[in-house]
Chain A
């Protein structure tokens, strides 16, 4: 303070008012930066506090890789023939604009055969074959390429998919009609349900609303019937706690986690659900 620098008189002295103005502007700019950055980091909350992970489209990378590599363009949404793919909103935090599937509302039934969403993805967030530097989670790898029931008789009957996106689970056996030995007749999910599915006996290329395809089954095996993957789901006699054998939907290794069983299940809430990102456990 006591020794003024020799250069000082050379510089035109800034008026106090001007200096204050500049200082205020600087502080406001810092405030703006802090504010916007602070707000953007709120995106962490939904990502880190999510109780159940989102079901991602087939071929999705592991969740953290998926969120980092997705460019949020929605091209996967555009190619899906059953409109199964939706985009995350602001309540998904950093997952805003990132595709997910709400299987109960509309599951992926692979009616496009070729997994079009993977083909559409420009960043490899959805991929047929993971690059080597990306880790494959335990229990995600499928033992063999899944055989698509719809293509079973074709020369190429398999689906180009290496990893599962989840695994189905009979979450509420007590409400499962098969377990109760009950039949099913009519529209599953009711007349207002808008979900679609491909029925090979109706049209190979055009999925139709499920409500337009009523059923009449002596013993409900809707989930097994609808499951698009061969040998992924079966009705098997399983002994309950009371020692009585009941026909029970049993999930097998080829299950890819598409969620069609959850969509088609007439029980409310669904007796069988898909656990997104869950590993296969023998």
Chain B
């Protein structure tokens, strides 16, 4: 199985596997790394000591997320007409931007290819092919931000042993993706849109709050007290749709095994820790490896990594330079 297929299957729910073959260079790196244990520990502690824990990428990302959503709000409130509509469908200075998952649900429910709608998805499709589909999740989706904040609360409660995290099978999201599609076809309603906290929050911000926010509140409570980031991890079909779209994206977080001490801090902060499976000792097969389509490119791992083993990278560009 090619690495691409493996990563894609991983997004659908398959468990990460140990590499069948590890490149000679990586074997050499690993050998050198662990050759002298004292030196290894010393280097590790040194890196930790000199790591200025920053929230650079998180702060940038929050700023972008807030700016995009604010642009929607202000376009309507101040009538500046830059970004009209909401996250499901909008116009950016006149250009149609249609959310891919929403368009899919609508066409399945309506059972017709709506030509205008289809055309409107192109720009969005192109953006997320280039930037990586799930970048939408962490850099645009308003639910992601709220869930990040309540996740902090969840982690505090876990630390104090008041709650425990209940993990579901990651393949559940794939099942949901199929089920929501089927339900659109069978019922003739865009069933997912009724529940989607992304759409609900986007509309609430722009057009004013409503009862639907109660549902979003319930989801957040479920995530605080029962299962960490459950909606994004195990349910949301938007994430999977964009994940598939961004599978060939040139922008990715890349992992450089040479600099890694395999401590796993990155996996602890990650929304989709399975993409960071390569950071486990012995799992990397190449010197530099991309993280795969399920990565939301949120940059939390980059911020937390004390050695710079994880970075944003544009595929091919580093070779070119």
- With A25-B168, A29-B172 already in contact, the answer to whether A65 and B86 are too (CB < 8 A) is no
The answer to whether B86 touches A33 (Cβ under 8 A) is: no
Instruction: Determine how close the nearest CB of chain A comes to the CB of B8; give it in whole angstroms.
Output: 20
Instruction: Determine how close the nearest CB of chain B comes to the CB of A93; give it in whole angstroms.
Output: 7
Chain A residues in 8 Å Cβ range of B103:
71
Instruction: Decide yes or no whether A113 CB sits under 8 A from chain B.
Output: no
The answer to whether A78 touches B106 (Cβ under 8 A) is: no
The answer to whether A78 touches B85 (Cβ under 8 A) is: yes
Chain B residues in 8 Å Cβ range of A65:
110
Q: Which residue of B lies closest to A36 (CB)?
A: B235
Kindly state the separation between the CA atoms of A61 and B202 in the bound complex, as whole angstroms. Answer: 25
| Cβ < 8 Å to B, chain A residues 26-55 | 26, 28-29, 32-33, 36-37, 39-41, 43-44, 47
Q: Which of A39, A68, A75, A96 contacts B106 (CB 8 A)?
A: A68
Kindly state the separation between the CA atoms of A149 and B171 in the bound complex, as whole angstroms. Answer: 60
Kindly state the separation between the CA atoms of A128 and B313 in the bound complex, as whole angstroms. Answer: 48
| Cβ < 8 Å to A, chain B residues 75-100 | 75-76, 84-86, 88-91, 96, 98-99
- With A74-B85, A90-B215 already in contact, the answer to whether A32 and B168 are too (CB < 8 A) is yes
Instruction: Decide yes or no whether A7 CB sits under 8 A from chain B.
Output: no
Instruction: Decide yes or no whether A77 CB sits under 8 A from chain B.
Output: yes
Instruction: Determine how close the nearest CB of chain A comes to the CB of B200; give it in whole angstroms.
Output: 7
Chain B residues in 8 Å Cβ range of A75:
84-85, 89-91
A contact residues, range: 35 or more
Kindly state the separation between the CA atoms of A123 and B190 in the bound complex, as whole angstroms. Answer: 13
Q: Which residue of A lies closest to B98 (CB)?
A: A122
- With A75-B91, A89-B210 already in contact, the answer to whether A33 and B175 are too (CB < 8 A) is yes
Q: Which of A67, A69, A72 contacts B203 (CB 8 A)?
A: A72
Kindly state the separation between the CA atoms of A32 and B235 in the bound complex, as whole angstroms. Answer: 9
Kindly state the separation between the CA atoms of A131 and B234 in the bound complex, as whole angstroms. Answer: 38
Instruction: Decide yes or no whether A97 CB sits under 8 A from chain B.
Output: yes
Chain A residues in 8 Å Cβ range of B75:
78
Kindly state the separation between the CA atoms of A69 and B88 in the bound complex, as whole angstroms. Answer: 13
The answer to whether A37 touches B183 (Cβ under 8 A) is: yes
Instruction: Decide yes or no whether A73 CB sits under 8 A from chain B.
Output: yes
The answer to whether A96 touches B167 (Cβ under 8 A) is: no
Q: Which of A28, A72, A94, A97 contacts B191 (CB 8 A)?
A: A94
Instruction: Decide yes or no whether B176 CB sits under 8 A from chain A.
Output: yes
Instruction: Determine how close the nearest CB of chain A comes to the CB of B101; give it in whole angstroms.
Output: 11
The answer to whether A68 touches B116 (Cβ under 8 A) is: no
The answer to whether A133 touches B96 (Cβ under 8 A) is: no
Kindly state the separation between the CA atoms of A28 and B169 in the bound complex, as whole angstroms. Answer: 8
Kindly state the separation between the CA atoms of A133 and B115 in the bound complex, as whole angstroms. Answer: 14
Kindly state the separation between the CA atoms of A144 and B100 in the bound complex, as whole angstroms. Answer: 38
The answer to whether A97 touches B176 (Cβ under 8 A) is: no
Q: Which residue of A lies closest to B212 (CB)?
A: A90
- With A74-B207, A122-B116, A133-B112 already in contact, the answer to whether A41 and B191 are too (CB < 8 A) is yes
Chain A residues in 8 Å Cβ range of B71:
none
The answer to whether A33 touches B176 (Cβ under 8 A) is: yes
Instruction: Determine how close the nearest CB of chain A comes to the CB of B111; give it in whole angstroms.
Output: 8
Instruction: Decide yes or no whether B120 CB sits under 8 A from chain A.
Output: yes
- With A32-B172, A71-B106 already in contact, the answer to whether A40 and B117 are too (CB < 8 A) is no
Chain B residues in 8 Å Cβ range of A96:
193-194, 200, 212
Q: Which residue of B lies closest to A25 (CB)?
A: B169
Instruction: Determine how close the nearest CB of chain B comes to the CB of A127; give it in whole angstroms.
Output: 10
Instruction: Decide yes or no whether B102 CB sits under 8 A from chain A.
Output: yes
The answer to whether B188 touches A68 (Cβ under 8 A) is: yes
Kindly state the separation between the CA atoms of A90 and B188 in the bound complex, as whole angstroms. Answer: 18
| Cβ < 8 Å to A, chain B residues 172-203 | 172, 175-176, 179, 183-184, 187-195, 199-200, 203
The answer to whether A69 touches B106 (Cβ under 8 A) is: yes
The answer to whether B85 touches A90 (Cβ under 8 A) is: no
Instruction: Determine how close the nearest CB of chain A comes to the CB of B123; give it in whole angstroms.
Output: 12
* Chain A 83-118 near chain B by CB (<8 Å), digits 1 or 0: 000010111011011000000000000000000000
Instruction: Determine how close the nearest CB of chain A comes to the CB of B175; give it in whole angstroms.
Output: 6
Kindly state the separation between the CA atoms of A216 and B37 in the bound complex, as whole angstroms. Answer: 97
Instruction: Decide yes or no whether A2 CB sits under 8 A from chain B.
Output: no
* Chain A 241-273 near chain B by CB (<8 Å), digits 1 or 0: 000000000000000000000000000000000
Kindly state the separation between the CA atoms of A134 and B78 in the bound complex, as whole angstroms. Answer: 37
Chain B residues in 8 Å Cβ range of A67:
188-190
Instruction: Decide yes or no whether A5 CB sits under 8 A from chain B.
Output: no
The answer to whether B102 touches A71 (Cβ under 8 A) is: yes
Chain A residues in 8 Å Cβ range of B167:
25
In the complex, 16 of the A-B residue pairs with CB atoms within 8 angstroms, ordered by the A residue number, are A33-B175, A33-B179, A40-B183, A67-B189, A68-B184, A69-B106, A69-B110, A73-B86, A75-B85, A78-B75, A90-B194, A91-B211, A122-B96, A124-B114, A124-B116, A131-B112
Closest 6 CB pairs of A and B: A73-B89, A68-B109, A94-B189, A89-B210, A73-B85, A90-B211
